[in-house]
Amino acid sequence: MATHTAPVPAAAARCFDFDVIVLGAGIMGSCTAHAAVSRGARVLLLERLDLLHGLGSSHGESRTIRDAYPDARYPPMVRLASRLWADAEAESGRRVLTPTPLLLMGPRSNTSVIAAARNAGTEEVDVAARWGGAFRLPDGWVAAVSEHGSGVLHATGAVKMFQDLAVHKGAVVRDNAEVVEIRKGPEGGVAVRTSTGEEFHGAKCVVTVGAWTRRLIKSAAGVELPIQPLHTLVLYWRIKPGREGELTAEAGFPTFSSYCDPLYVYSTPSLERPGMIKINYHGGPPCDPDDRDLVSGGGDVVERVARWIDEFMPGHVETAGGPVDQLPCMYSMTPDEDFVIDFLGGEFGQDVVVGAGFSGHGFKMGPAVGMILAEMALDGEARTAAEAGVELGHFRINRFEGNPMGNAKDQ
C-alpha cells in the first residue's frame, strides 16, 4: 500500500501565500500539516492558544489505540493509522506508542462487545488465569483478548512529534492566532482572518478546531454541524499497595474496555504515573468549550466509575477518597458518534475541508485522518485511504440532512 507522494498540483497557484492553511493544532491539525508539508505543500498551521495547551481534546499522557470496533468500517482506518504512527516514529526517532494487549469484556448478550471482539479477531481469555485475579467478572460475561495492534499513545508527545516533523519540513506554525473569519479569497481560494486582524490567503483551508467547530463553521458558512462539546474527566486511581507492579504495561497488563451499558469504562495500564492507573468512562455532560467547570463538572460519573471498580477490580484498585487526580478534557460528539470528514461545500466548494466530531475516539486515527484531509485538500480525493479500504461515505456532512441522528447503527 503506497502513500501518495505526488507533488502538489499546479492548481495550487502561486498567488496564494500558502497551499494549505490548517486551523487548529490538536492531533488532527498537526497530522494534517505534517501530511501536507510532506507532499511539498506550503503549509500554515494556526492555533488559537499556546501550542500543546490543555484546554482541548488532544492533551495528556495517554490514549488507547485498538482496532476492536463494533462498527467494521473503522478497523481499516486504525490499521492505516498504525502504519503511519510507525512511519512517524521512525522519521522522528521518537517513541510515542507502547504496545499492550487489549482486553474486551461485557455481557454475552451485548452485541457491541461481541462485534468488537469479532472484528478485532480476538480470542476468549480466562482473565483470572491471565491477570492474577485483577478482574472479577460477573456470570454471563465474556472476556476476549487481542495481542496485536493495540497499545497506549503518549498524547501530548504525539502531537508534538507531528508538529516538530511538520516544522522540520518547512511548515509555518503560529500559536495564539485565533481565526475568527473564513471567507472566499478575492482571487479564489480562501482568506482567513485572526482576532488580531492578520489575514492569510491559501489555496485550500482545512478546519480541525475540535470542540469549537460548530461555532466557527456556523459563522463562516452558516452551516449548522451537529457537533456537541462534552466535558469529560481523565481519572487516575491509586493501585492498592503491593499490587503496583501487576498493573503495569511492562508486566503485560492490558488496555481494556468494559461494555457495561450504560457506562462504557476503559483503561490504560499503569505507565505514565507509577502507582496509579487510568480508569475512565466514555462521555460527559454537554458544555460550552469556553465556559466550563474545569475542576469538577463531570456529574456523578466519578462515583459510577468507583462503583465499577469496586465491582470489577476490588482487590487491586483503591476507590476510597475518590480518584487521586482528575484532568479536564473535551469530546466533540456527533449524534451517531461517527466523524465528520468532508468538503464544506456551498460557496467554498472543495476549498475548505472539515475534520471534526471525533466523538471521543479519534486520537488513534489522527495520522490517517491527517493524511485523508491533506489529500482531500491537495488532490480533491483521499487516495491513500481508499487504497487502504477506508470508507469515507459515512463521514459526510449531508448524512444529517433530514435525519438528525445521521448514520443508522444497525449493523
In the complex, the residues that contact ligand FAD under the rule CB under 6 A are 23-29, 46-49, 56-58, 63-64, 178-179, 208-212, 216, 232, 234, 329-331, 358, 360-364
Nearer to ligand FAD, 100 or 384 (CB): 100
Task: Give me the least distance between CB of 63 and ligand FAD, in Å please.
Answer: 4
Q: Could you write out the three-class secondary structure of the chain?
A: CCCCCCCCCCCCCCCCCEEEEEECCCHHHHHHHHHHHHCCCCEEEECCCCCCCCCCCCCCCCEEECCCCCCCCCHHHHHHHHHHHHHHHHHHCCCCEEECCEEEEEECCCHHHHHHHHHCCCEECCHHHHCCCCCCCCCCEEEEEECCCCEEECHHHHHHHHHHHHHHCCCEEECCCCEEEEEECECECEEEEECCCCEEEEEEEEECCHHHHHHHHHHHHCCCCCCEEEEEEEEEEEECCCCHHHHECCCCCCEEEEEECCEEEEEECECCCCCEEEEEECCCCECECCECCCCCCCCCHHHHHHHHHHHHCCCCECCCCCCCEEEEEEEEECCCCCCEEEECCHHHCCCEEEEECCCCCCHHHHHHHHHHHHHHHHHCCCHHHHHCCCCCHHHCHHHHCCCCCCCCCCC
The residue whose Cβ lies closest to ligand FAD is 26
Nearer to ligand FAD, 110 or 208 (CB): 208
Task: Give me the least distance between CB of 161 and ligand FAD, in Å please.
Answer: 14
Task: Give me the least distance between CB of 60 and ligand FAD, in Å please.
Answer: 7
Task: Give me the least distance between CB of 283 and ligand FAD, in Å please.
Answer: 10
Nearer to ligand FAD, 29 or 323 (CB): 29
Nearer to ligand FAD, 48 or 201 (CB): 48
Nearer to ligand FAD, 178 or 381 (CB): 178
Task: Give me the least distance between CB of 359 and ligand FAD, in Å please.
Answer: 7
Nearer to ligand FAD, 237 or 363 (CB): 363
Task: Give me the least distance between CB of 234 and ligand FAD, in Å please.
Answer: 5
